[in-house]
Amino acid sequence: MGGRAVSYDVRGDGSKAVAMRSVPGQLQRQALTQVLATLQPSELVVPQQIMTLSLSASFGFESEVGGMGDLFSSRLGSMGVDPVVMVESLVITVLSSVLDVARIERIAIQSQFNQSLPSLGEVLKTIVDELYSFDDLGGEQSWIERLVQTVLTHMVLGLQSSYAKISALVDEEVQRCLEYMHDQLAAVIAEEQCDRTGRSVYEVSDMCNHATRLLGWLTGKKPFLTLLPIPEGPPI
């Protein structure tokens, strides 16, 4: 996604040499589909046999390869492996790569020169449509789906922070994406209010929390950017 193939000059190429080519649009779209497939709740469920065989790391243990960095952290203390952290780590790893600032800048630019390549708007909409579906999965897959959606919400909002340093072109597409996410949530919440027998109160509560974050952004209260008020009087 947003990839480029580099070809270095060799003797005899002359003016026909092309130093850099964008990866074909079909391959980029296939790559996105395959990456998003790894974030499906059915793929992220930690098998029960793994959980029963896994223990938390012994006190003072460090991996021979990467030290403590090779180990999953845990919010459970020393009382076993934390499946939520395991899933969370995988989701953050995948989405942080997909929504890397340099990558989305390349995607935004490539479609300006070649309309056969996916645009940033197309990529963001595909991600939202795939991960913001709010299916009533039930069981363990239900909380995994909510976790994926929470991470996605935070990451897209994070692109709007002052630290992301995105271009105006990307900023415009991210704003459209946030509005689309809010509309998707509003439609689901309205549907649940009409039929309260569908989802658990926790699922609807999570949806409302997402909507609140997005509504805060839409009304100018960006949760990732807080500025101190300017004091009165002449500057020091």
Residue 125: its pLDDT value, please? 94
| pLDDT at position 117 over 50 | yes
Q: pTM to 2 decimals?
A: 0.74
- Encode pLDDT of 201-219 as tens digits: 556 566 666 666 666 665 5
181 vs 121, more confident: 121
CA distances from 209 to 72, 135, 185, 213 (A): 27, 17, 10, 6
Long-range contacts of the stretch 138-147 (C-beta < 8 A, 24+):
140/41, 140/45, 141/41, 141/42, 141/45, 142/41, 142/200, 142/203, 143/84, 144/41, 144/44, 144/45, 144/87, 145/41, 146/203, 146/206, 147/84, 147/87, 147/88, 147/91
Question: Residue 217, SS3?
Answer: helix
Task: Classify residue 170 as exposed, middle or buried by CB count within 10 Å of its CB (0-12, 13-18, 19+).
Answer: buried
- Encode pLDDT of 35-44 as tens digits: 999 999 888 8
Mean per-residue pLDDT, 78-104: 85
| pLDDT at position 156 over 70 | yes
Q: How large is the angle between the packed helices 168-194 and 201-218, nearest 10 degrees?
A: 140
| pLDDT at position 75 over 90 | no
Residue 223 pLDDT class (50, 70, 90 cuts): very low
Residue 182: its pLDDT value, please? 81
